[in-house]
Amino acid sequence: MPIDLDLLLQAYANGIFPMSDARDDPDTFWIEPEYRAILPLEGFRLSKSLAKTIRQGRFTVTADTAFAEIIATCAESRDDRRETWINPDIEESFCQLHAQGRAHSVECWLDGRLVGGLYGLAMGRAFFGESMFSRETDASKVALAWLVARLQLGGFALLDCQFMTDHLASLGAIEITQGAYLKLLESALTTTGQPSSGLASSVDGAAGSAGAAWGALDDALSVGAVASFSDGFSSTGVSSPGKLILQLLTQTS
């Protein structure tokens, strides 16, 4: 049975998230780790090789075009990970959140094949990254780079990565205490610029406001330009999506 969506959103708003011990485990547990990994949006580590891959447009990158396939692939076992924490209940719940416009995916395609991507939940100015995968070199890194650029342009303030890994650390992720994380989270869930009365109380407003911010990059790509992205920055006549992404990433890194 999928997780009650209201309960799920309240959990994320209070720094708690669901996991299972295995793909076929029917039980779902609530996790509140002592330390959290976040990726500061201004601190994404863009290597020269990754920048070259993005600039050359090796992968076609989309958003929200294959959410179900992304989460199903993230839930598969791999040579380096025989068990995953995404059981069918978690998968179905996130597919429902996606149908409501609250959960999102970024996909990387190569010659028409889905070769990498990620998914997560957007609430207010926070994005909770859940999982990512790669079937081609740098595919997941490109997906993450596009996510960071999308969040920057959309005015997001927090990219939650849950647990630290070497892969995330190489891209600029840092580890902070749960207490520090909760302070960042409360600020990110504030939608009016005024302090919220509590994390849980801001769920409905935060979830409702995330859609427009998430789509800001799509609007920019549709016209091939970004106007007044941040203080002192504007770009017109961008010749390729990759170059726009690099401009967004290098503006703050």
pLDDT at 84: 82
Residue 231 burial (CB count, 10 A)? 5
pLDDT at 80: 54
Residue 252's pLDDT band, with cuts at 50, 70 and 90, is low
Q: Residue 143 and residue 180: Cα distance in Å, rounded? A: 27
Residue 222's pLDDT band, with cuts at 50, 70 and 90, is confident
213 in Cβ contact with 123 (< 8 Å)? no
pLDDT digit string, tens, across residues 91-131: 999 999 999 999 999 999 999 999 999 999 999 999 999 99
Q: Residue 84 and residue 75: Cα distance in Å, rounded? A: 6
Q: Residue 151 and residue 101: Cα distance in Å, rounded? A: 16
pLDDT at 239: 54
**Which residue stretches of 100-138 are H helix?**
none
Q: Residue 139 and residue 142: Cα distance in Å, rounded? A: 5
pLDDT digit string, tens, across residues 59-68: 999 999 999 9
Structural domains of the chain sorted by starting position, each given as residue range(s) with its CATH number in brackets: 5-252 (3.40.630.70)
pLDDT value at 234 more than 50: no
Whole-number average pLDDT of the chain: 86
